[in-house]
Structure 1
Amino acid sequence: MNSTRPLIFLVFLLTLFACNTSNQERLFTEKEIKIVPTPAQMKLGEGFFSFDKNTTLVVSSEEEENYISPLRNKLAQAAGLDLDMEKVAPSTNFVQFILDEKFKGEAYQLEVLEDKISIKASTTAGFTHAVASLQQLLPVELESSKLLESVAWQVPVITIDDEPRFVWRGLMLDVSRHFFEKEYIFDVIDRMAYLKLNTFHFHLVDDQGWRIEIKEYPKLTEVGAWRVDHEDKHWDARPTPELGEEATLGGFYTQEEIKELVAYAGTKGINVVPEIEMPAHVMSAIAAYPQLSCHGNEIMVPPGGVWPITDIYCPGKESTFEFLENVLLEVMELFPSKYIHVGGDEATKTNWTTCENCQRRMAEEGLKDERELQSYFIKRMERFISSHGRTLIGWDEILEGGLAPGATVMSWRGTQGGWEASEQGHDVVMTPGSHVYFNFYQGVPDTEPVAFSGYTPLSKVYSFDPVVDSMTVDQKKHVLGGQANLWAEFITTNEQSEYMIFPRLVALSEVLWSPKEKLDWVGFSDRLKENILPRYDYQGINYARSSFSVTADTEVDLTSNVVKVKLQNEFPDSEIRYTLNGDDPGADSKIYQEPFELSETTTIKAGVFENGKQKGQTFEKTFHFHKAVGKNVSYNPVYHDSYQGAKKIGMVNVIRGSLNFHDKQWQAWLVDDMEVVIDMQREVPVNKITVGSMENQGSGIYFPVKVEALISKNGKDYTSVGKIEREFSHSGIPQLKDFVLDFDEQETRYIKVKAANLGKTPRGGNAWLFVDEIIVE
C-alpha cells in the first residue's frame, strides 16, 4: 500500500476547503463598499459575482465597447483576464448594458447578481458612471500595471440606483500660463470620468499664451502662443520683454487635436467648455494683432504676471467685434458645448477713457461710463453667441454695468455674484476662490510647492456647497453646480498639476454628486484612504499627501509665559506621534492625546502614523522662549491695519510666521520703515538680536534693505550694537530669513530695532516689509 496517498488526499481536501472558503463564503459588509462619490442609493445583498476567464462582456455597439473598455483593459493587465466581447448574452457569468429610457440624464442602475451584472442607463454619461462604480467595487489591485496573483476579482451582490445632485460638476485647467500637451489632457479627462465629473473647462486664452489654432488669424498661434523664457524668475517679477526678443516658450493645440480631445471627452460623458477671454487677459492676441487694442501699440506676449491689465480689446472699433465673431465661429465648429465661456474678468479700462473710438461708442450708445461700455461689449457678444444656439458664460464681473439677458454667471469672487445673478433669474455656476481654487496651498506652506497665498485644504473643499442658504427656492433652481479651478502660474509640469488637483478633486466630486444628506467627512475620509488613494498609488498619480500632515494651533499666555499647543490632522481619529527633544517621530514615539504646555525653548516634531508607518511629512516647529517674550513693545509707525499679527505682543509672543502671509502671525509696513522699542522692564545682559522676516516678491513683499539694533539704559540715549545692510536682488522663491546681529554682551533695558523698507518695487509699486518676531538673547 502506498502510504503517501492518504496524505495527498488530505492536502487535496484542505486546498479544496480553502478555495471554497475564499470563493464561496466571502461575505461583504456595507463598510466595505467604499465608492467615491457615494451613490444616492445602495442595497447590499448576499454573495458575490466573480470575474474569471469565462466572464463575457455583452456589447451591442461601438459605444458600449467604449463604456466597458477601461474595465476590460484593467482586468487584462492586473488579473490576466482577456475577456471576450459578444453581442448575445450567454446563460450566466456576463456583464451587460441595457438601454432604459426610464433613467434620465446621467442616472444609472448597477445590479450585481451572483451570475450576472446588468447596467441600465439612457446616456453615455450614465453608462460611464456605472462602469466607474463597478471598477471601485473591485479590489484596489485592479489599478496595477503588473499581473497580480492570488487576488479574488469579486464584487458584492448589490443594487445601486444613482444620479447626481448637480448638473455641472467641473474642473478648469489653465493651459495658457503654462502649456500642457494633449496627452496629459487625455489623462485628466480619464480621471474626471472616474470621479463622475462631467464638465472640462478649457482655459485656452490668457495674456501669457493663445493656445488654440484659428485658421482665419494664423498669427494668434505663430506669435501669441510663444513668449520669452523667464522661468528662472518669480512669476510676478519677470521683466517686460523688448520688442523682437526671441520667444521660445509655449505651444498650442491644432484644430485636429482639439477635435480629438473633444471627441474623446464625449465618449466619457464629459462636455468640454472652451474659454476665449475678452475684453481683458488678451495680451497674447494683441501681441499678434496690435490693432485690436485702443492705441495699436506693439507689445510682446508677457512672460509672467501683469497687473493692472490695461492692454485689452477696444470695443470702440467694429473691427474688434469682427475679429471676435470670426474667432468664435471657428471655436463653435470645434466645440459642440452649449456653453461658450468669454471670461470677462479683471479688465482695467484705463485705455478706454482716453480712446476716441471708445468715447464715441459710449456717446452713440448712451453709456454713462466704462463699466457700461464693458456691459455693452458682453451683451453684444451674448447676442452673437445666442444667435448660434449657444449660451454665453462668464466670470461674475459680467454683472457689472448690467448683465446680458441670456448669460450664465460663473461666480469666483465668493458666492455673492452667483447669488445676485440667480436673483435676476440667471443660471449660475459656483466656483469661489475660498473653497475650490486649487492653485492655493493645501498644506503648511513652508513644506509645500510654491502656490498662491490662499489656504484650501482637503476638508475645506469637502465643506463646499454651491447652494447658499439665504437663496430662495427659485434662486436655488438656478444653481447648476460648481467646479474647481487650477490656474497655472506656478504649475509647470504634469506632476505639479496632479499634486494640486488630487486628492482635492475627489472631495469636490462627492459634494457635487452625492445627496447632501449623505455627505459625511468621517465616512469620506475612510473611503478616500482605503479605496481611492491606494488606486492612485498603483496608477502613479502624484497626489498630495498634505492631508496627512500635522498642524498646530497655539495659544499664548504671556502672563505666565506659557504656550499651549494643540496638534491636529485633517482626518478624524488620526494617530499622531510626536517628540519634544528634536528627534524625528517614530512608531514608538509618544501618541498625542491632548494639548500640552511649553514654557522653555522646544522643538516639536510630529507625524501621522498608520499601522506603524508614517504618512505624510514630518511637522517641525521650534518655540523659542527668549528674554523679550511678553515684554512691552512700542511701534513708530504702527503696523499696517491689514497685517497686525498679535498686535502689541506680536513681536515677542514666541509664535513664528509661515510662508502663508495670511496666517495672522505677521506684522507689516507698506512703504514705511519699521521701528520698534522693546522695554525689558529691567536691565538684562544681551548679546544677540534676531529679526525674522519674509520675502515673496510676487506678492510685493521684500526683505529689509537694512536692519539695525540699538540699546539704551534710559530709553533716550541709544547706542548701535549691530547693523546689516543688503542690496535688493531678484528672487523667484518665497522664503523666510532671520537677520542675526551678534555683539559683545552688554547690559540694557531698552532695545530699539529698525528695519528699512525697500519702499518701491522694481516695477514701481509700493513694497511691503514683513516681520514676525524679534528674538532677544
Structure 2
Amino acid sequence: MNVLKQLMGMILIILMVSCQDSKQSKVFTEADIAIIPKPVELTLEQGSFQFNDKTQFVISEASQKEVVTVVSDKFQTAAGWTLGVVEQAPNTNFVQFITDENLEDEAYHMNVNSDRVQISASGNAGFLYGLETLRQLLPIHIESSKLVSDIVWEIPNLTINDHPRYRYRGLMLDVSRHFFEIDYLKKTIDRLAFLKMNVLHLHLVDDQGWRIEIKKYPKLTEVGAWRVDQEDKHWDGREETTAGQKGTYGGFYTQEELKDLVAYAATRSVEVIPEIEMPAHVTSAIAAYPELSCHERPVGVPSGGVWPITDIYCAGKENTFEFLENVLLEVMDIFPSKYIHVGGDEATKTNWEKCPDCQKRMKTEGLENVEELQSYFIKRMERFINSKGKRLIGWDEILEGGIAPEATVMSWRGTKGGVEAAEQGHDVIMTPGSHAYFDHYQGPQNEEPLAWGGYTPLSKVYTFDPVVETMNETEANHVLGGQANLWSEQIKTTDHSEYMIFPRLAALSETLWSTKESRDWDDFSHRIETLFKRFDMMGINYAKSSYLVMEDIQIDMDTKEVSVELKNEYTDADIRYTLNDEELNTNATKYTEPIKITETTEIHASVFKDNQPIGKPFNTTIEFHKAVGKPVTFKVKYDDRYQGEGEFGLVNTLRATKNYQDGHWQAWLGKDMEAVIDLGESMAIHEVGVGTLENQGPSIYFPTSVTVSVSDDGKNFKEVGTIERAFAKNPSSDLKTFNIEFEEQSARYVKVVATVLKSVPKGGHAWLFVDEIIIN
C-alpha cells in the first residue's frame, strides 16, 4: 500500500510539472492588442506563439544580430534567458527574418503562428520595426529591469502588413540651452525606435552654448560651451554677461562621442541630423571668435534669453564663410546624415544694415535689402553643402528674400511656410508650434512644471497632419513628414525632458506612421493606457497630464451663482467629484452637468478608471467672501491689455492661473495698484487677501508690499495691516495670496495698496498682476 501511495504521488508531481511546462495559452481578442503606432493592416487569428528558453532567432546577415538585441536583451533581463541566434531555421520555436526585396524600405510583414514567427522586410529598418511591434505584443513585463516570474511570454497568432505613411518622423532635442549627456541621447534613440520614429535632430549650436568639438577652432568649446551659471533665475530674467566672465555651466560632445552616438543610432535605424545655426543664434561662437561678427567686439556667452538677436555672423566678410565651411567639413565627417540643418531663423539684421562689409557685399552681388543678403548667405552655404553630397534644411525664415534651390524647409511658424515652399517645389518637414512644440504645456499650468508657454495637450498632438488640406497632390508629395521640437530653455533635467516628450511623442508617431483613415482618438485612448504601463516598466518619467480634470468657472453677478464645468481630454471620461470634506473615493458623485455653487465650497474631482481615481486629483475652492460683487474704484486703472472680467474682475470669486493670459488677471505696468472696495454697509472684517502672480521672465513680479486700510466714510482711512516682501530671484512661475490679518473691526470701505517692484534686475518696468481681493 505504501509503495502504491508513493507511485501515485510521483505521478501527481509529474502531472503538475507537466502542466506548469505547458502553461495554458491565452485567448486573445482585438482589445488585447495595443500597438502604437497602429499597424496599417492586422488580422488576428486563433492561437498563440509562446517564447521559452529554447526559442531561437534566425538571421541571414551578420548585421541583423544587432537588430535582434532589441528583443533578446529584454528576455535576458526579464526572463533570464539567453536566446540563440542562428542562420538555419529549426523545425519549430523560432523568430525568422526573411529578406523580401519587393517590400519598401521600413515596411515589414509579420506572420505569427503557433510554432514560428516570420518577419519579412527589405532591410534592417523593416526587421527592427517588426521586432518593435513584436515587443508591444508581448506582456508589458518584457520591459522589466529585473527578473520576473510566472509570466507566459506569448503573442497572438496574427498577420500584419505595415509601412510608414511618411518617411521623415523626427524629434529635435535642444542641447544648447541646457546640456544633456550622451547616455540620455542613446536612451532617447531607443525610445524613438520603439515608436518607429527615425530621426534625432540635435540642436547643437545656439546663443547660450556651442556643444560640438571642432578641432580647427578649439575656442568654440573652450569658451563657447560654457556660460555664467544663473540657473537660479528665470530664463528671461538673467543678467547680461560680458566677455571675460568665467563660465561654469555647460559642456560639449567630443567628436568621438558623437561618432559613437551616430553608430549606435544606426543600429536603431535612426538618422542623427546636426544643426549648426547660421547666421543668427550664434553668440556662443562670436564670444569665442569676435571677428566673425560685424562689430568684432568681445561678448560673453549669454546665460539666458536674448532678444532681439543682433550678434550674428557678418555676411560681408569672406572669413565668415571660410570659418563655416571648415566647421561643416568636420561636422560632415562625424554625421553621415543626408541632411545638414543650418537654422536660419530669427536673425535681426540691424548690424548688417550699417556694416561696411555687408553693404559692400550687397552692392557687389546686386542685393536690394538685408533679407536678400540672408538669402545670399543661405544659398552660398547650400552650394557648399551640396558640393559635399549633402542637402540643406532650414527653418521657414530661409524663404525670405528667396529660397536656396535645393533646400528643404522645416516649417515652424505654423504651416504657411511649408505650404509656400511646397508650392515652389521644395521638400517640406512640418513642425508647427501649434501641434509639434513639446516645450508647450500639456495640462493646466497650475499643475505642470514650468514650460515655455502655449497649450499642446496629447489630444491636440493626435490631430496633427503634415499635409494641409489646401495642398494639391504634387504639393503634398513634397511633404516628407513631421517632427516634434523640444526647446530646452526651461528644461534643465533629463526627467523634465522625458516628461515633456512622453506620451506626446506616441501620439505624434501614430500621426506620422499610420494611415489617416485609421486615426481614432477613442481607440488611441484605449491603447495609450497599455503604453503607460510599458512606460512605467521602462522607467520613463512620462506626463500623466491627460488624466487631469480641468474646470471652466463662470459667475452670474446678478444671482451670485457660480457654475463649475468639469472636463477632461478623454471622450466620456468618468469624472467624479465630492464637495468640502467628503472623501474622493468610489462613492463620489458622477459628474454629468455643471455644479452650481452659492456659498464657499471646496470641490475635489478625478477621472476614475476601474472604479478607482487615477492621476492627480483636481482641487479648487470657490470662496464667497464679503467683497463679492461689490463696487471697486481704482486710483490708476489696470492696463488695457489685462482687464480680467472688467468692473467686478477682482471681486467675482474667479481665481486665475499661472497662465497670465488666461483672461482672469488685471495688471498694472510700473504702477502701484490702489483699489477701494465699497462693501455697501459697515460690517465686521478681520482679514484681507490679495491674489498675485510672479513670472519673472515676462517681468511679472510679486508686490514688494501690500497695505490694507479701512474707513467708514470713504475719505478718512486707517491703516490696519501691511506686509513687506523684498525681491527674490525666482526661476519658476508661482501664485501667492498675500493675507493680512488684523483685529476685527467694522468698516464699509477697504483700501488695498499693492506696491509694484520699482527696480527690475534686467531693466525696464515690472508688471503687477492681481486676480482677486478677498475680504472676510
TM over 0.5: yes
8 Å CA contact 2:281–2:309 kept in 1: the answer is: yes
Q: CA deviation at 1:6?
A: 8.9
Rate the CA distance shift 1:754–1:396 in 2: closer, same or farther, 3 A. farther
List per-residue Cα deviations over 1:445-473 (Å, max 9, x = no partner): 22322222222222221122222223333
> Counterpart amino acid of 2:601?
T
Of residues 7-16 and 487-496 in structure 1, the stretch that sits farther from structure 2 once superposed is 7-16
Rate the CA distance shift 1:743–1:735 in 2: closer, same or farther, 3 A. same
Q: Which residue of 1 aligns with 2:467?
A: 467
CA distance in structure 2 between the partners assigned to 1:215 and 1:679 by the alignment: 71
Q: CA deviation at 1:137?
A: 0.7
> Counterpart amino acid of 1:183?
D
Q: Which residue of 1 aligns with 2:335?
A: 335
Q: CA deviation at 1:37?
A: 0.5
CA distance in structure 1 between the partners assigned to 2:745 and 2:369 by the alignment: 65
Q: Which residue of 1 aligns with 2:45?
A: 45
Rate the CA distance shift 1:82–1:685 in 2: closer, same or farther, 3 A. same
Is 2:207 aligned against 1:213?
Answer: no
Q: CA deviation at 1:748?
A: 5.0
CA distance in structure 1 between the partners assigned to 2:402 and 2:647 by the alignment: 46
Q: Which residue of 1 aligns with 2:568?
A: 569
CA distance in structure 2 between the partners assigned to 1:637 and 1:410 by the alignment: 46
CA distance in structure 2 between the partners assigned to 1:374 and 1:342 by the alignment: 12
> Counterpart amino acid of 1:137?
L
Rate the CA distance shift 1:343–1:759 in 2: closer, same or farther, 3 A. farther
CA distance in structure 2 between the partners assigned to 1:11 and 1:537 by the alignment: 40
Is 2:533 aligned against 1:546?
Answer: no
CA distance in structure 1 between the partners assigned to 2:646 and 2:469 by the alignment: 35
Q: CA deviation at 1:12?
A: 5.9
> Counterpart amino acid of 1:177?
R
The secondary structure found in structure 1 opposite 2:69 is helix
The secondary structure found in structure 2 opposite 1:627 is coil
CA distance in structure 2 between the partners assigned to 1:358 and 1:375 by the alignment: 13
Is 2:484 aligned against 1:484?
Answer: yes
The secondary structure found in structure 2 opposite 1:500 is helix
Q: Which residue of 2 aligns with 1:161?
A: 161
CA distance in structure 2 between the partners assigned to 1:513 and 1:521 by the alignment: 15
Is 2:398 aligned against 1:398?
Answer: yes
Q: CA deviation at 1:575?
A: 3.7
List per-residue Cα deviations over 1:709-742 (Å, max 9, x = no partner): 4556666666655554544333223211223344
The secondary structure found in structure 1 opposite 2:398 is helix
Rate the CA distance shift 1:648–1:151 in 2: closer, same or farther, 3 A. same
Q: CA deviation at 1:264?
A: 1.3
List per-residue Cα deviations over 1:12-56 (Å, max 9, x = no partner): 6974896599435x3211111110111011011111111112212
Rate the CA distance shift 1:639–1:396 in 2: closer, same or farther, 3 A. farther
> Counterpart amino acid of 1:601?
T
Rate the CA distance shift 1:357–1:582 in 2: closer, same or farther, 3 A. farther
Q: Which residue of 2 aligns with 1:658?
A: 657
8 Å CA contact 2:243–2:301 kept in 1: the answer is: no
> Counterpart amino acid of 1:701?
I
> Counterpart amino acid of 2:373?
L
Is 2:703 aligned against 1:704?
Answer: yes
Q: Which residue of 1 aligns with 2:283?
A: 283
The secondary structure found in structure 2 opposite 1:628 is coil
Q: CA deviation at 1:577?
A: 3.8
Q: CA deviation at 1:298?
A: 0.8
Q: Which residue of 2 aligns with 1:448?
A: 448
8 Å CA contact 2:410–2:418 kept in 1: the answer is: yes
The secondary structure found in structure 2 opposite 1:556 is strand
Q: CA deviation at 1:567?
A: 2.3
> Counterpart amino acid of 2:767?
W
Of residues 66-75 and 704-713 in structure 1, the stretch that sits farther from structure 2 once superposed is 704-713
> Counterpart amino acid of 2:440?
F
Q: CA deviation at 1:382?
A: 1.9
The secondary structure found in structure 1 opposite 2:54 is coil
CA distance in structure 2 between the partners assigned to 1:294 and 1:377 by the alignment: 14
Q: Which residue of 1 aligns with 2:193?
A: 193
Q: Which residue of 2 aligns with 1:516?
A: 516
CA distance in structure 2 between the partners assigned to 1:639 and 1:472 by the alignment: 49
CA distance in structure 1 between the partners assigned to 2:680 and 2:380 by the alignment: 70
8 Å CA contact 1:759–1:768 kept in 2: the answer is: no
The secondary structure found in structure 2 opposite 1:652 is coil
List per-residue Cα deviations over 1:123-158 (Å, max 9, x = no partner): 222111111001111111111122222211111111
Q: Which residue of 2 aligns with 1:35?
A: 35
Rate the CA distance shift 1:156–1:552 in 2: closer, same or farther, 3 A. same
> Counterpart amino acid of 1:585?
L
> Counterpart amino acid of 2:369?
D
8 Å CA contact 2:243–2:287 kept in 1: the answer is: no
List per-residue Cα deviations over 1:497-551 (Å, max 9, x = no partner): 1111111111111111111111111111211112x12122112111122222222
List per-residue Cα deviations over 1:64-96 (Å, max 9, x = no partner): 111111101111221222211111111222111
Q: CA deviation at 1:582?
A: 4.3
Q: How does 1:175-186 map to 2 (within 5 A)?
A: 175-186=175-186
Rate the CA distance shift 1:359–1:721 in 2: closer, same or farther, 3 A. farther
CA distance in structure 2 between the partners assigned to 1:483 and 1:607 by the alignment: 33
CA distance in structure 2 between the partners assigned to 1:145 and 1:92 by the alignment: 29
> Counterpart amino acid of 2:498?
E
CA distance in structure 1 between the partners assigned to 2:80 and 2:741 by the alignment: 68
Rate the CA distance shift 1:535–1:297 in 2: closer, same or farther, 3 A. same
Q: How does 1:749-768 map to 2 (within 5 A)?
A: 749-758=748-757, 761-768=760-767
Rate the CA distance shift 1:648–1:435 in 2: closer, same or farther, 3 A. farther
Is 2:667 aligned against 1:668?
Answer: yes
Of residues 739-748 and 287-296 in structure 1, the stretch that sits farther from structure 2 once superposed is 739-748
8 Å CA contact 1:545–1:615 kept in 2: the answer is: no
Q: Which residue of 1 aligns with 2:308?
A: 308
Q: Which residue of 1 aligns with 2:457?
A: 457
Q: Which residue of 1 aligns with 2:24?
A: 23
> Counterpart amino acid of 2:702?
F
Rate the CA distance shift 1:287–1:52 in 2: closer, same or farther, 3 A. same
Q: How many pairs were matched up?
A: 775
Q: Which residue of 2 aligns with 1:272?
A: 272
8 Å CA contact 2:316–2:358 kept in 1: the answer is: yes
> Counterpart amino acid of 1:284?
S
CA distance in structure 1 between the partners assigned to 2:408 and 2:183 by the alignment: 31
Of residues 470-479 and 252-261 in structure 1, the stretch that sits farther from structure 2 once superposed is 470-479
The secondary structure found in structure 2 opposite 1:485 is strand
Q: Which residue of 1 aligns with 2:118?
A: 118
The secondary structure found in structure 2 opposite 1:71 is helix
Q: How does 1:277-676 map to 2 (within 5 A)?
A: 277-530=277-530, 532-582=531-581, 585-611=584-610, 613-634=612-633, 637-676=636-675
The secondary structure found in structure 2 opposite 1:161 is strand
8 Å CA contact 1:235–1:698 kept in 2: the answer is: yes
CA distance in structure 2 between the partners assigned to 1:665 and 1:6 by the alignment: 82
Give the root-mean-square deviation of aligned CA atoms: 2.4
Structure 1: 5+ residue stretches without partners:
none
Q: Percent identity?
A: 56
The secondary structure found in structure 1 opposite 2:24 is helix
CA distance in structure 2 between the partners assigned to 1:13 and 1:89 by the alignment: 31
Q: CA deviation at 1:304?
A: 1.8
The secondary structure found in structure 1 opposite 2:649 is helix
Of residues 238-247 and 516-525 in structure 1, the stretch that sits farther from structure 2 once superposed is 238-247
> Counterpart amino acid of 1:23?
Q
Q: CA deviation at 1:261?
A: 0.9
Q: CA deviation at 1:171?
A: 0.5
> Counterpart amino acid of 1:399?
L
Of residues 438-447 and 568-577 in structure 1, the stretch that sits farther from structure 2 once superposed is 568-577
CA distance in structure 2 between the partners assigned to 1:556 and 1:4 by the alignment: 81
CA distance in structure 2 between the partners assigned to 1:22 and 1:662 by the alignment: 59
> Counterpart amino acid of 1:164?
P
Q: CA deviation at 1:612?
A: 5.4
> Counterpart amino acid of 2:71?
L
Structure 2: 5+ residue stretches without partners:
none
Rate the CA distance shift 1:398–1:675 in 2: closer, same or farther, 3 A. farther
8 Å CA contact 1:584–1:606 kept in 2: the answer is: no
8 Å CA contact 1:547–1:570 kept in 2: the answer is: yes
Rate the CA distance shift 1:62–1:14 in 2: closer, same or farther, 3 A. closer
Q: Which residue of 1 aligns with 2:693?
A: 694
Rate the CA distance shift 1:758–1:356 in 2: closer, same or farther, 3 A. farther
Q: CA deviation at 1:358?
A: 1.7
Rate the CA distance shift 1:644–1:289 in 2: closer, same or farther, 3 A. same
> Counterpart amino acid of 2:255?
Q
8 Å CA contact 1:453–1:662 kept in 2: the answer is: no
